[in-house]
């Protein structure tokens, strides 16, 4: 099941399908719009990290509120092709389109759309559109259009520079203002190329988009307003391949780069694409036997993550990736908790690139921490593109200090999986120190415990609270590993270690304080309910009236004032349950179980980051039917548009969450300082699930069926704990699965 197929289309599904059929490579993303420019359409083309600034408006602006935000720019559009058959313009209406088929091929890395068109004179034409966004040449978008028709065929192909950002004033998850964000500086053509060069209004980034055509007929170009229109025509058959290079100032590109790619045919570029993906799937595929739709779903989610994630160490992955304009292209904590862990299992080098992105933001974070009143440490932004805080609503934004712990958690997980001490001494340890210093600044010792006040945890329906359990626990883990890592690195590379201590002006007193705060961290607990409290006063609030809240009032954030929500026991997403999932070693199973059941009934799952977490915890607790239900919700969230906003782009964190639901849920995978642990099970209707793990220098294949088989494919032996028994994996291991 390597393809996503549509054999018909409905107007109400077009925007969603544009997101689903997006093609990208981590640098460039092109929504899956119809070339014939059907309406409605969000004709988006995006470059990772290419942004403009936009002023933030406040009626009452207080100290430290950000002045500006950053917004992903919709760059020059090259998809549109107008087609005329004997002078009749091809229009996608149901009574004229026959045998429609649209395919996203995840093994080939291309999309194909084909249909028969019936003209007003009852003559038939066969139209085929192919496209790819190259993994080999990251700036290249390639289209191939092939038309067969017994008559005269004309094509007009466009480069369009008059573009606007998408806006929806009714939805805070999308930008509220439609804006033009590019100024055209140069537009033109010569005998072989067409181009538009533009510049952002405020960030001074430039983009030059250059197209050329491979076709057997003459190409005649002209300028129409802000577009370059290229025309070609023929009889009976007309075929053209359009090469478009997106040369942004983020990289060192030149006009000659288009000449590098145009020497290869579309078929040769397809071959490059397949070679790249063969390597990716060999390492990262998750093979499910027994459920074809789930198999398709998990591969779709893996493929879309690959297409959107930054691969250069300078860019990240936005909440909607490169598939749409939801959340304005901003990066959140989604990366570290939902996406990076998936990649870390089989693509550690790619995970490292994402961590480098955060490392590069440390200085900006130091400046932000000073604005927030902290004398030391670095505060990562809640939402950002370049490292600048872009959140204008601090209760559900800046107050989420747990982003510091999330980044540090991912660095620790990377170290445990790779044993990469060089990365730690050069980059990772500095992040751990700066985040730990901020925890000391943020929190305080009181009555023998370390407490953290006025923060917001992952649950954005409970804002600015004292002692959020998730925040306190991940801060504890952060500081624990900071002084633990000190002991490792001081021996590993004493010279580099001492240089870093001098640079950061960190002393033994600081490390002792990290240890003290770790050991005395206050973790709120209610003895009566046997649960960890989400925060100090959560249980004192009134319960939300779920029984009398109709379905059309969800998500609550679109229908109720924030203060109304904050005064109730109601959760947008997993909070304490997420803490228990990530750091289960800090609590007894009975506490995790009781907490799960208490908070589950209060959670709306208004966030796409939620269901996967509850599903994984259900797996951990042995509530398998429950886990399977959550998994089905997660894996099909975008494919079935269950949150009704897939048109704004795919939910990247949820894509990652569905993958983690298999790896960390069904397989029960965990990595700790003691090594790998698994506690596998699979749904009854599955025959098996198979995947690979990269641990340090070794590759392991895991197959879970009626038994569990682990095979060391490459590298040194690996210590593994399955359920509660320990093994040394040197070749192949098969044991009986321990669950009913």
Q: What does DSSP assign to residue 96?
A: T
| DSSP class per residue in 461-491 | TS-SBSS-HHHHHHHHHHHHHHHHHHHHHHH
| DSSP class per residue in 3-28 | EEEES---GGGHHHHHHHT-EE-SSE
Query: How far is 640 from 630, CA to CA, in rounded Å?
Result: 14
Q: Is residue 518 part of a domain?
A: no
| Whole-number pLDDT of residue 645 | 93
Q: Which sequence positions are flagged as catalytic?
A: 460
Q: Which of 58-72, 144-158, 394-408 has the lowest mean pLDDT?
A: 58-72
pLDDT greater than 60 at residue 176: no
pLDDT greater than 80 at residue 610: yes
pLDDT greater than 90 at residue 154: yes
Lookup: tokens for 48: 């990772």
pLDDT greater than 70 at residue 168: no
| Dihedral pair phi/psi, residue 330, rounded to 5° | -75, 150
pLDDT greater than 70 at residue 740: no
Mean pLDDT across the chain: 95
Q: Is residue 57 part of a domain?
A: yes
Q: How many domains does the chain fold into? A: 1
* Selection from 11, 20, 18, 46 nearest residue 34 by Cα: 18
| Whole-number pLDDT of residue 59 | 85
* Selection from 368, 385, 386 nearest residue 376 by Cα: 368
| Whole-number pLDDT of residue 166 | 66
Residue 50's CATH number: 2.70.98.40
Q: Is residue 73 part of a domain?
A: yes
- Tens digit of pLDDT for each residue in 656-702? 999 999 999 999 999 988 889 999 999 999 999 999 999 999 999 99
Residue 164 confidence class, pLDDT cut points 50, 70, 90: confident
Find out whether 386 and 314 touch, Cβ atoms under 8 Å. Answer: no
Residue 181 confidence class, pLDDT cut points 50, 70, 90: confident
- Tens digit of pLDDT for each residue in 305-323? 999 999 999 999 999 999 9
pLDDT greater than 80 at residue 482: yes
| Whole-number pLDDT of residue 93 | 77
pLDDT greater than 90 at residue 591: yes
Q: What does DSSP assign to residue 594?
A: H
Q: Span 478-499, mean pLDDT?
A: 97
Other beta carbons within 10 Å of 557: 19
- Tens digit of pLDDT for each residue in 273-314? 999 999 999 999 999 999 999 999 999 999 999 999 999 999
Q: Is residue 126 part of a domain?
A: yes
Question: 731: buried, middle or exposed (CB in 10 Å: 19+, 13-18, 0-12)?
Answer: exposed
- Locus of tokens 């995970």: 351
User: Could you check whether the bond before residue 40 is cis, i.e. omega within 30 degrees of 0?
Assistant: yes
Strands 675-678 and 718-722: parallel
Query: How far is 178 from 146, CA to CA, in rounded Å?
Result: 35
Q: Span 322-349, mean pLDDT?
A: 96
| Whole-number pLDDT of residue 224 | 94
Q: Span 415-444, mean pLDDT?
A: 98
Q: Is residue 297 part of a domain?
A: no
pLDDT greater than 80 at residue 738: no
Q: Which domain holds residue 120?
A: 3-258
Question: 218: buried, middle or exposed (CB in 10 Å: 19+, 13-18, 0-12)?
Answer: exposed
Query: How far is 498 from 331, CA to CA, in rounded Å?
Result: 33
Q: Span 254-266, mean pLDDT?
A: 93
pLDDT greater than 60 at residue 175: no
Query: How far is 669 from 678, CA to CA, in rounded Å?
Result: 5
| Whole-number pLDDT of residue 218 | 97
pLDDT greater than 80 at residue 167: no
| Whole-number pLDDT of residue 183 | 94
Q: Is residue 407 part of a domain?
A: no
pLDDT greater than 70 at residue 712: yes
Query: How far is 574 from 661, CA to CA, in rounded Å?
Result: 14
Lookup: tokens for 248: 């942004």
Q: What does DSSP assign to residue 204?
A: -
| Whole-number pLDDT of residue 169 | 54
Query: Radius of gyration over alpha carbons of the chain, in Å?
Result: 27
| Whole-number pLDDT of residue 177 | 54
- Locus of tokens 């699965």: 737
Percent of the chain clearing pLDDT 70 (strictly above): 98
| Whole-number pLDDT of residue 65 | 95
- Tens digit of pLDDT for each residue in 593-609? 999 999 999 999 999 99
* Selection from 72, 534, 533 nearest residue 310 by Cα: 72
Lookup: tokens for 681: 């099970």
Query: How far is 27 from 310, CA to CA, in rounded Å?
Result: 6
Q: Span 488-501, mean pLDDT?
A: 96
Query: How far is 336 from 672, CA to CA, in rounded Å?
Result: 17
Find out whether 209 and 245 touch, Cβ atoms under 8 Å. Answer: yes
Residue 10 confidence class, pLDDT cut points 50, 70, 90: confident
Q: Is residue 22 part of a domain?
A: yes
Q: Is residue 92 part of a domain?
A: yes
Percent of the chain clearing pLDDT 90 (strictly above): 92
| Whole-number pLDDT of residue 37 | 78
Which sign does the torsion angle of CA 496, 497, 501, 504 carry? positive
Lookup: tokens for 602: 């209060």
Query: How far is 454 from 472, CA to CA, in rounded Å?
Result: 12
Q: Span 117-121, mean pLDDT?
A: 94
């Amino acid at each position: 099941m390597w393809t996503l197929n549509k054999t018909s289309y409905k107007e109400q599904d077009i925007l969603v399908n544009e997101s689903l059929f997006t093609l990208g490579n981590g640098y460039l993303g092109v929504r899956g719009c119809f070339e014939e420019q059907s309406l409605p359409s969000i004709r988006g083309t995006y470059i990772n990290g290419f942004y403009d600034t936009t002023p933030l408006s406040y009626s009452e602006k207080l100290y430290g509120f950000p002045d500006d935000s950053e917004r992903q720019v919709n760059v020059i559009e090259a998809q549109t092709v107008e087609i005329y058959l004997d002078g009749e313009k091809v229009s996608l209406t149901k009574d004229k389109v026959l045998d429609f088929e649209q395919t996203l091929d995840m093994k080939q890395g291309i999309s194909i759309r084909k249909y028969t068109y019936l003209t007003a004179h009852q003559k038939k034409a066969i139209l085929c559109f192919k496209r790819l966004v190259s993994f080999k040449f990251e700036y290249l978008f390639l289209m191939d259009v092939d038309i067969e028709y017994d008559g005269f065929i004309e094509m007009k192909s466009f480069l369009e520079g008059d573009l606007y950002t998408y806006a929806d004033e009714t939805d805070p998850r999308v930008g509220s203002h439609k804006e033009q964000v590019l100024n055209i500086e140069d537009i033109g053509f010569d005998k072989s190329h067409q181009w538009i060069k533009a510049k952002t209004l405020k960030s001074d980034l430039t983009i030059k988009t250059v197209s050329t055509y491979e076709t057997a007929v003459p190409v005649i170009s002209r300028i129409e307003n802000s577009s370059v229109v290229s025309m070609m025509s023929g009889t009976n058959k007309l075929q053209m391949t359009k090469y478009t290079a997106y040369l942004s100032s983020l990289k060192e590109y030149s006009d000659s780069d288009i000449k590098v790619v145009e020497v290869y045919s579309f078929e040769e570029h397809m071959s490059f694409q397949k070679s790249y993906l063969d390597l990716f799937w060999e390492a990262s595929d998750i093979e499910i036997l027994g459920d074809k739709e789930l198999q398709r779903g998990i591969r779709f989610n893996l493929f879309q993550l690959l297409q959107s994630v930054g691969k250069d160490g300078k860019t990240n992955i936005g909440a909607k990736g490169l598939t749409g304009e939801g959340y304005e292209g901003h990066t959140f904590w989604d990366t570290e908790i939902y996406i990076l862990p998936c990649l870390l299992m089989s693509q550690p080098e790619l995970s490292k690139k994402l961590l480098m992105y955060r490392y590069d933001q440390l200085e900006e974070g130091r400046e932000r921490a000073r604005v927030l009143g902290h004398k030391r440490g670095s505060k990562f932004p809640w939402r950002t593109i370049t490292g600048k805080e872009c959140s204008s609503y601090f209760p559900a934004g800046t107050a989420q200090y747990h982003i510091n712990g999330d980044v540090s958690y991912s660095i620790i997980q990377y170290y445990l999986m790779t044993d990469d001490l060089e990365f730690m001494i050069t980059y990772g340890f500095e992040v751990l120190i700066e985040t730990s210093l901020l925890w000391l600044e943020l929190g305080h010792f009181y009555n023998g415990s370390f407490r953290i006040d006025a923060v917001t945890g992952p649950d954005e329906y409970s804002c600015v609270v004292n002692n959020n359990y998730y925040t306190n626990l991940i801060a504890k883990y952060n500081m624990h590993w900071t002084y633990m890592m000190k002991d490792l690195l001081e021996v590993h590379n004493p010279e580099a270690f001492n240089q870093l201590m001098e640079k950061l002006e960190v002393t033994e007193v600081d490390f002792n304080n990290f240890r003290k705060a770790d050991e005395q961290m206050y973790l709120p607990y209610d003895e009566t309910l046997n649960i960890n409290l989400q925060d100090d006063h959560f249980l004192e609030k009134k319960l939300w009236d779920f029984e009398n809240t109709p379905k059309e009032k969800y998500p609550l954030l679109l229908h109720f004032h924030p203060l109304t929500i904050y005064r109730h026991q109601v959760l947008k997403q997993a909070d304490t349950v997420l803490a228990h999932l990530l750091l289960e070693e800090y609590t007894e199973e009975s506490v995790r179980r009781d907490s799960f059941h208490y908070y589950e009934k209060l959670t709306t799952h208004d966030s796409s980051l939620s269901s996967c977490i509850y599903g994984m915890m259900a797996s951990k607790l042995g509530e398998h039917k429950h886990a399977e239900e959550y998994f089905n919700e997660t894996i099909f969230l975008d494919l079935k548009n269950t949150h009704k906003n897939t048109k704004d782009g795919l939910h990247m964190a949820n894509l990652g969450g569905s993958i983690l639901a298999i790896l960390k849920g069904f397989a029960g995978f965990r990595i700790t300082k003691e090594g790998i642990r698994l506690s596998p099970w699979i749904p009854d209707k599955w025959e098996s699930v198979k995947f690979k793990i990269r641990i340090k220098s070794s590759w392991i294949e895991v197959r879970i069926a009626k038994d569990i088989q682990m095979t060391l494919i490459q590298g040194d032996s690996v210590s593994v704990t399955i359920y509660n028994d320990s093994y040394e994996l040197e070749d192949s291991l098969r044991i009986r699965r321990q669950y009913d």
